[in-house]
Structure 1
Amino acid sequence: MLNSLSGRFLILTALFVMLAEVLIFVPSVARFREDLLLLKLEKAQIASLALLADDMIDRELEAELLENAGVFNVVLRRNEVRQLMLSSPIPGPIYETYDLRYASPFVLVRDAMVRLWDSENRVIRVMGEPVRDAGILIEVTMETKPIRDEMLAYGFNILVLSAAISVFTAFLLFLAVRGFLVAPIKRVVRHMISYATAPEDARQIIVPSAGVTELREAEEALKTMQTQLTQALKQKDRLAQLGSAVAKISHDLRNILTTAQLFADSMEMSDDPRVKRAAPKLENSIRRAVNLCETTLAYGKAEEAPPTIQEISLHSLAEDVVENERLAAGEAKVEFKVDIPEAMVIRADPEQLYRVLSNLARNARQAIAGTGNEGEITIRAVQDTENWVISVIDTGPGLPPKARELLFTAFQGGIRKGGTGLGLAIAAELVRGHGGRLDLARSDESGTEFAIYLPRIGGAAETIDL
């Protein structure tokens, strides 16, 4: 219980209430001491008035009056005349004189604390004003021990009462905290535990109901997090199922393409010059398709093969991409350009970089073809001291705002109607595998530009194949 929030709150409340009572205790004891002294002055005054009423009071009655007042002698000043009214032997010298007529609260508190601390019995003189204007001044002598004993008894009673009040107050606050704070927090914890057992079940999502503003905000935040997590888990489950299906299709398609590659090899033996020219390109296309099937199988396992870094001619690679896209464009009015120096050699995985450029060029071609207008696609490359920067630029209609938000997210960043967004997601992943990045440089009504940054030094772990 002591480790719980309510238990610690109970202890802290009791301690703070006790602290408050202690702060009240000091001035209270000082006030009690002042009242005691004033009461003794009043009793001494009454005894003096009795003596004034009858001058023939014997010594025994005088001693009884002084004992009843708790003093040794009484001096009353009336009409500027200081008169010893009652007296008895004083057991010792007067230790200190206290004038209650001009004592400030600070002085009263200080004197009370000194008296509590000093356990020795002393004789003191106390001066004050007589009640009901019975004179100008009254002073008495008395012992300090009886006063100290009464102060200790009073202080003990105050402390006991304070402890009882603090415990009772803390208990009430304990119940209040359990009802208003601990119970709603435990409810949130139960929801979290219940949700953790079945996060896919939307019924386990918390329904905010707390009346406390802060707890309500925490429940709202938990609800948002649980809702997003449930949706993400459902999407990942669908992606896993889709990946399994794609892996199966890719496996069978790879076998079919392998057979097609055998036929393409035999076409090279044809005497038709057009067939001889087309055969290498067909063979390259089939080889890339087989490689794509194999990498799709790896993607279905949530992993992409590491790039095999080698020196390649970027101009030749871009020409292959452009030539295939020209064939795919058909009757679409799309012009392709390669603005790359023929001597530029970079270090990259040729197959993965081909896939990246092919995906970007295909998306640009489809965007332009969708408008029915003429367009131009340019693959350009420059280099600086740190990076090779490859740009794919088109004069298409630009990307819609919604597509830009989740541009590189699979199944959410599709840039055309019916698209899955896989192309850009795969391209970005492949570029990251090289230690680089794929950025959307610009997209407006004049067209779109994607920029690939490949580091010239460092980057991906190199598997050089020369």
Structure 2
Amino acid sequence: MCAATVGAGLTAGRGRFLNTLSGRFLILTVAFVMLAEVLIFVPSIARYRADFLMNRLEKAQIASLAQLAAADMVSPDLEKELLANAEVYNVVLRRDEVRQLVLSSPIPRPIAATYDLREAGPWQLIRDSFACLFDHRDNIIRVIGNPVQKAGLLIEITMDEAPLRAAMFDYGGRILILSALISAVTALLLFLAVQRLIVVPIRRVSQHMAAYAEAPEDARRVIAPMAQVEELREAEEAMRRMQQQLTGSLRQKERLAQLGGAVAKISHDLRNILTTAQLFADRMESSADPAVARSAPKLVASISRAVALCESTLTFGKAEESAPVLRPLALAELAEEVAEAEGLAEGNAVSCLIEVPPDLRITADSEQLYRVLSNLIRNARQAIEATGNPGTIEVSAGEDADEFWIRVGDSGPGLPEKARDHLFEAFQGGARKGGTGLGLAIAAELIRGHGGRLDLARSDAEGTEFLIRLPKDGKVAG
């Protein structure tokens, strides 16, 4: 049982190692080095066979020249000894177009193949070499070649193939052992180099990522680039920038969360104060003073909107904005009411031009759409007033087959580039200096609740324009 457990553990350990970058690189290194050794081995074994046969031809040529030099002095026993030293059966030397059998002895078996080394190319030598290695019969072969030192036109010998095969196996075995040793040493060196230059830095990065994930707000856990490999160092530097940005964002989010809690408390108290003021405003409607009686409804409406704004601020952080109550409404009247509430009467430095068809009725929540238009028009007015120059705010609207559209534009200085990047994000996209961006974030959320879209159509030196799109089908976002 224990042996089986140990075996299973070793198998699992090997499996994990093979799934690592180090393990796979080691396997690939051994495989490619062995492939390189095979590509070296194949031509080398073919060259060894050709050199072996050329050596036999040279020894046979020396024996034949000795025979030709002293033909009368060479006895049959000496001829047999010359052939034995050359390890051949017959030697044929062609000189001056005359083929002459110089040395000869009985051939035990028929000749199985003839090899001409004079015109053999690389592929033929490789093919003949492996044919010799895999043919285990004791063949007699004929070999033809060029004599050395131009001692004739050709030389031809007959010999056993078995000694050649044995020599090739011996040479091939030594080559394979050497190749395996070279592969092992090369793989080990490359493995150590990869461990040092790549795997260790990558493991360090992964450890930093794990440590940073545990406490991303801790700036001490931001990685310090140390890799010597340029690509890994670039990755570490990119990771450091990302961690620094994330740490800064988390700190900002934490501060904003604390600020949001404080705003919620203030809004809660302010709502109570406005509710009390609303009760007194209700009593003013019964005043005998005609001017007070006329102003009371507007005062009540303003206080009601202030109470609603406090309640929306309380629910913003909880994402509890109430669903819109869709009803047909006259957009022109709503826009004029917003303009009057913002003090954009004719003759003022900032005027409001409303180009909405009087008969255009859209389907929307009047209270929420009032808040959206009020926010856009107020931002436009404040942007123009900040320049110290007169200006105009334009509100236009229309419809097409699928949706209503409302444009709110101004002749102000345009939005800063930084404000455009996070325009509809709470506490991020303030359209003016000192603004929190909460108004635009709420406005965009309210329009999305209608199933529509609030976009920045343009913002340049000639002014800013927002575009509201509302669907006609009456469906709202869930």
Q: TM-score w.r.t. structure 2 length?
A: 0.90
Read off the aligned partner of 1:370 and give its amino acid letter. Answer: A
- The 5 A counterparts of 1:381-420 are 381-420=397-436
Q: Which runs of 4+ in 1 moved over 4 A?
A: 329-332
Specify the alignment match of 1:239 in structure 2.
256
Specify the alignment match of 1:33 in structure 2.
49
Specify the alignment match of 2:208 in structure 1.
191
Specify the alignment match of 1:425 in structure 2.
441
Q: 1:439 deviation in Å?
A: 2.1
CA 1:76–1:311 in 2, change beyond 3 Å: closer, same or farther?
same
C-alpha contact (below 8 Å) 2:64/2:102 kept by paired residues: yes
Q: 1:35 deviation in Å?
A: 0.9
Specify the alignment match of 1:172 in structure 2.
189
Specify the alignment match of 1:100 in structure 2.
117
- Counterpart secondary structure, 2:321: coil
2:267 to 227, 246, 250: 250
Q: 1:374 deviation in Å?
A: 2.8
CA 1:98–1:336 in 2, change beyond 3 Å: closer, same or farther?
closer
CA 1:330–1:420 in 2, change beyond 3 Å: closer, same or farther?
farther
- Counterpart secondary structure, 1:127: strand
Specify the alignment match of 1:10 in structure 2.
26
Q: Which has the higher contact order (CA 8 A, sep 6+)?
A: 1
Q: Which range is displaced more, 260-269 or 171-180?
A: 260-269
C-alpha contact (below 8 Å) 1:436/1:459 kept by paired residues: no
Could you tell me how far apart the structure 1 residues matched to 2:117 and 2:464 are?
A: 94
Specify the alignment match of 2:470 in structure 1.
454
- Counterpart secondary structure, 2:132: helix
Specify the alignment match of 2:169 in structure 1.
152
Could you tell me how far apart the structure 2 residues matched to 1:400 and 1:298 are?
A: 29
2:342 to 325, 345, 351: 325
Q: 1:288 deviation in Å?
A: 1.4
2:323 to 306, 319, 339: 306
- The 5 A counterparts of 1:74-89 are 74-89=91-106
* Unaligned 5+ runs, structure 1: none
Could you tell me how far apart the structure 2 residues matched to 1:442 and 1:15 are?
A: 61
Could you tell me how far apart the structure 2 residues matched to 1:137 and 1:391 are?
A: 103
Residue 266, structure 1, aligned to residue 283, structure 2? yes
Specify the alignment match of 2:178 in structure 1.
161
C-alpha contact (below 8 Å) 2:393/2:408 kept by paired residues: yes
Residue 209, structure 1, aligned to residue 226, structure 2? yes
C-alpha contact (below 8 Å) 2:455/2:466 kept by paired residues: yes
Question: What whole-Å deviation, never above 9, does each CA across 1:382-434 have from its counterpart, x for those lacking one?
Answer: 11112211122323333344433433233332232222222222212222222
Specify the alignment match of 1:222 in structure 2.
239
Could you tell me how far apart the structure 2 residues matched to 1:376 and 1:23 are?
A: 83
- The 5 A counterparts of 1:115-134 are 115-134=132-151
Could you tell me how far apart the structure 1 residues matched to 2:372 and 2:95 are?
A: 115
C-alpha contact (below 8 Å) 1:246/1:300 kept by paired residues: no
Specify the alignment match of 2:126 in structure 1.
109
C-alpha contact (below 8 Å) 1:415/1:421 kept by paired residues: yes
Q: 1:330 deviation in Å?
A: 12
1:336 to 352, 373, 398: 352
CA 1:105–1:373 in 2, change beyond 3 Å: closer, same or farther?
closer
C-alpha contact (below 8 Å) 2:363/2:474 kept by paired residues: no
* CA-atom RMSD in angstroms: 2.3
- Counterpart secondary structure, 2:362: strand
Q: 1:58 deviation in Å?
A: 4.1
Q: 1:80 deviation in Å?
A: 4.2
Q: 1:358 deviation in Å?
A: 0.6
* Unaligned 5+ runs, structure 2: 1-16
Q: 1:154 deviation in Å?
A: 1.4
Specify the alignment match of 2:9 in structure 1.
none
Could you tell me how far apart the structure 2 residues matched to 1:107 and 1:441 are?
A: 77
Q: 1:104 deviation in Å?
A: 2.3
C-alpha contact (below 8 Å) 2:448/2:477 kept by paired residues: no
C-alpha contact (below 8 Å) 2:219/2:247 kept by paired residues: yes
Specify the alignment match of 2:157 in structure 1.
140
Q: 1:302 deviation in Å?
A: 4.2
- Counterpart secondary structure, 1:33: helix
Could you tell me how far apart the structure 2 residues matched to 1:296 and 1:105 are?
A: 87
Q: 1:192 deviation in Å?
A: 1.2
Q: 1:347 deviation in Å?
A: 1.4
Q: 1:356 deviation in Å?
A: 0.7
- Counterpart secondary structure, 1:338: strand
Specify the alignment match of 2:308 in structure 1.
291
- Counterpart secondary structure, 2:18: coil
Read off the aligned partner of 1:324 and give its amino acid letter. Answer: A
Read off the aligned partner of 1:62 and give its amino acid letter. Answer: E
Equivalent residues, number: 461
Q: 1:332 deviation in Å?
A: 5.6
- Counterpart secondary structure, 2:343: helix
C-alpha contact (below 8 Å) 2:423/2:440 kept by paired residues: yes
Could you tell me how far apart the structure 1 residues matched to 2:383 and 2:89 are?
A: 115
Q: TM-score w.r.t. structure 1 length?
A: 0.92
Q: 1:79 deviation in Å?
A: 4.4
Q: Which range is displaced more, 349-358 or 40-49?
A: 40-49
Read off the aligned partner of 2:249 and give its amino acid letter. Answer: A
C-alpha contact (below 8 Å) 2:326/2:474 kept by paired residues: no
Read off the aligned partner of 1:220 and give its amino acid letter. Answer: E
Q: Which range is displaced more, 150-159 or 304-313?
A: 304-313
CA 1:378–1:74 in 2, change beyond 3 Å: closer, same or farther?
closer
Q: Which range is displaced more, 121-130 or 307-316?
A: 307-316
Question: What whole-Å deviation, never above 9, does each CA across 1:30-81 have from its counterpart, x for those lacking one?
Answer: 1111111111112222333343436444444433332232211222334444
Could you tell me how far apart the structure 2 residues matched to 1:363 and 1:424 are?
A: 9
CA 1:447–1:136 in 2, change beyond 3 Å: closer, same or farther?
closer
Residue 90, structure 1, aligned to residue 107, structure 2? yes
Q: 1:29 deviation in Å?
A: 1.0
Question: Kindly, what percent of the aligned residue pairs are identical?
Answer: 64
